[in-house]
């Protein structure tokens, strides 16, 4: 079964939907590979003006698939592909985003999150660090916010995500009671002027404009990606990570919690 729904095309906008809700759209090798192939197809298709990246279920992306994780190098290549894609990529979020899922969202050029969205960088609680995803997150986030959420793993909502520049805007009432996966109408309404603006721009104009915005991010990939992949690999192989991931799967606190 595919982890990515069939692309949907609508007046120059192609929607790619993460579609493994039973696995919380976790970053398996399968999902990373399928998404990379779909992005390549969008890059080569002159009828595609922009890409919307969204999800089914209550979770946009839960981060690494602990049972069948993608290779860190392949995940970095996917993030770079999104950043370097000659067409804008727009994130559409109505549910949970965790760990590596924030890196995926950070690679998008524009992102809109609804009142049912929530976010957390949970790596430190698993004996890991947001190593490779720092390539897309650190250029976006306020430094003080990056320090807080990288270190503590606290959960935050869409309004806070917009305040710290993780997402472009929060749709709907941030004080509302929307459950994860709800609020799609508010998100789609907020996206209307964004997608209209992209449809009014020329492909050349979009490509050249995106290159201006992403140039320094791509330089960071070229300079630091290899070292960060090595760090991520070492952390995943550590005793702390084994304890952290085992505790997570067993639904208990890891040994270091006081």
Please check whether residue 107 lies inside any domain of the structure. yes
Please check whether residue 246 lies inside any domain of the structure. yes
Query: In terms of residue numbers, what domain contains 220?
Result: 1-181+202-258
| Look-up of token digits 């993608």 | 70
Distance between CA atoms of 130 and 116, rounded to whole angstroms? 24
Q: What is the CATH number of the domain that holds 66?
A: 3.90.226.10
On whether the CB atoms of residues 116 and 224 are closer than 8 A, the answer is: no
pLDDT at 18: 98
Cα-Cα-Cα-Cα dihedral sign, residues 242, 22, 188, 183: negative
Please check whether residue 133 lies inside any domain of the structure. yes
On whether the CB atoms of residues 91 and 112 are closer than 8 A, the answer is: yes
pLDDT tens for the chain, 258 residues long, are 689 999 999 999 999 999 999 999 999 999 999 999 999 999 999 999 999 999 999 999 999 998 888 999 999 999 999 999 999 999 999 999 999 999 999 999 999 999 999 999 999 999 999 999 999 999 999 999 999 999 999 999 999 999 999 999 999 876 556 787 778 999 999 999 999 999 999 999 999 999 999 999 999 999 999 999 999 999 999 999 999 999 999 999 999 999
3-state secondary structure of 165: coil
Total domains in the fold of the chain: 1
Please check whether residue 188 lies inside any domain of the structure. no
Please check whether residue 197 lies inside any domain of the structure. no
Please check whether residue 192 lies inside any domain of the structure. no
On whether the CB atoms of residues 113 and 170 are closer than 8 A, the answer is: yes
User: pTM for the whole thing?
Assistant: 0.95
154-157: long-range contacts (C-beta < 8 A, 24 or more apart)?
Answer: 154/120, 155/118, 155/119, 155/120, 156/118, 156/119, 156/120, 157/115, 157/117, 157/118, 157/119
Please check whether residue 194 lies inside any domain of the structure. no
Please check whether residue 187 lies inside any domain of the structure. no
């Amino acid at each position: 079964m595919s982890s990515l729904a069939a692309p949907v095309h609508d007046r120059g906008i192609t929607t790619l939907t993460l579609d493994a809700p039973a696995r919380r759209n976790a970053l398996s090798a399968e999902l990373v590979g399928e998404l990379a192939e779909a992005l390549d197809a969008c890059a080569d298709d002159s009828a595609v003006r922009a890409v919307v990246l969204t999800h089914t279920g209550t979770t946009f992306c839960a981060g690494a698939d602990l049972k069948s994780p993608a290779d860190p190098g392949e995940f970095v290549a996917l993030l770079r592909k999104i950043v370097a894609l000659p067409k804008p990529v727009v994130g559409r979020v109505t549910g949970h985003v965790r760990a590596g899922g924030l890196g995926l969202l950070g690679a998008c050029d524009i992102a809109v999150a609804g009142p049912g969205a929530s976010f957390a960088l949970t790596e430190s609680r698993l004996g890991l660090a947001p190593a490779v995803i720092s390539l897309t997150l650190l250029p976006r986030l306020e430094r003080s916010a990056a320090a807080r959420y990288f270190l503590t793993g606290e959960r935050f909502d869409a309004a806070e995500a917009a305040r710290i520049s993780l997402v472009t805007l929060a749709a709907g009432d941030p004080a509302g009671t929307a459950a994860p996966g709800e609020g799609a109408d508010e998100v789609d309404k907020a996206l209307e002027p964004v997608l209209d603006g992209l449809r009014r721009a020329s492909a050349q104009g979009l490509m050249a404009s995106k290159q201006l915005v992403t140039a320094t991010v791509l330089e960071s990939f070229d300079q630091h990606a290899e070292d960060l992949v090595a760090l991520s690999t070492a952390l995943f192989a550590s005793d702390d990570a084994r304890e952290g991931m085992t505790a997570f799967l067993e639904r208990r606190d890891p040994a270091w919690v006081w």
